[in-house]
Structure 1
Amino acid sequence: MKENSIIIGFHAHVYYDLETRDVAAQIREGLGARFEVQLGRWHDQPIGPHPKSMYQVAFAPNQFPQVVPWLMLNREGLDILVHPETGDDVTDHTAHALWLGNKLELNIQVLQRIRPNAS
């Protein structure tokens, strides 16, 4: 088993649709007001491996104990993917993923095509 214990950051992907975009905006506002996070752009169409509209929230490892519990309690029924950044996008989005709400089917083939060659 290959051990990888270096996490350089985390991403949370907050998924929404047309009916829940306002709820997603409230969550985004709450995150930005409470935590030192980087709020990514709104993607109103599926992008990359993500099957529906979403925005990304990037945060440092030391923020995990504050950000993730807040998302657990304040996700308002939205589905959220939380994953580490280890340099292996495929594994980070699959084996290392944490889901709040429903686990959505990601298009992992997109990540496999851009995966760096293992040396």
Structure 2
Amino acid sequence: MPRRPENLYAQYHAHVYFGPDTLAEAKALCERAGRELMVVVGRVHERLVGPHPHWSCQLAFDAAEFDQVIGWLEANRDGLDVFVHGVTGDDLADHTTHAMWLGEESELDLRMFRR
């Protein structure tokens, strides 16, 4: 199991990353997560959004579901990379200190948080 962010936060986001070749797979994973887990499924972005260096779909969930959601994503992500972070209101810390990866890490564009 990947390393949990340092502290337990009330809310988390998991961003499923994909590209044109894995769009259908990512949509299916996010739809399935919405049905099987207590997560809120965001829009499937077929463009770069925020600091994310890949197309993505956000899954939002509470701390009580953390272990279940992360275990499920790890077992079902089928090679897709997932960026997970706590939600504290400090966007820079949330996307660095309070973050973990399932799969390969990517470099985020954090300039928007350093203004």
TM-score (norm 2): 0.89
CA distance in 2, matches of 1:51, 1:5: 25
CA distance in 1, matches of 2:97, 2:7: 14
Asked which structure has the greater RCO (Cα within 8 Å, sep 6+), the reply is 2
Aligned runs of 1:59-98 on 2, under 5 Å? Answer: 59-98=61-100
Flag as ranges the 4+ runs of structure 1 deviating above 3 A: none
Which has the larger Rg?
Answer: 1
Letter of the 2:37 partner, please give it: F
Aligned runs of 1:89-108 on 2, under 5 Å? Answer: 89-108=91-110
Structure 2 residues without counterparts, runs of 5 or longer: 1-5
Q: Is the 8 A contact 1:11 1:59 kept in 2?
A: yes
CA distance in 2, matches of 1:26, 1:88: 31
CA distance in 2, matches of 1:56, 1:29: 11
Q: Is the 8 A contact 2:53 2:109 kept in 1?
A: yes
Letter of the 2:74 partner, please give it: M
Identity %: 43
CA distance in 1, matches of 2:83, 2:8: 19
Q: State the 1:89 CA deviation.
A: 1.0
Q: How many residues align?
A: 110
Larger CA deviation: 25-34 vs 60-69: 25-34
Q: Is the 8 A contact 2:14 2:83 kept in 1?
A: yes
Structure 1 residues without counterparts, runs of 5 or longer: 114-119
TM-score (norm 1): 0.87
CA RMSD of aligned residues (A): 1.5
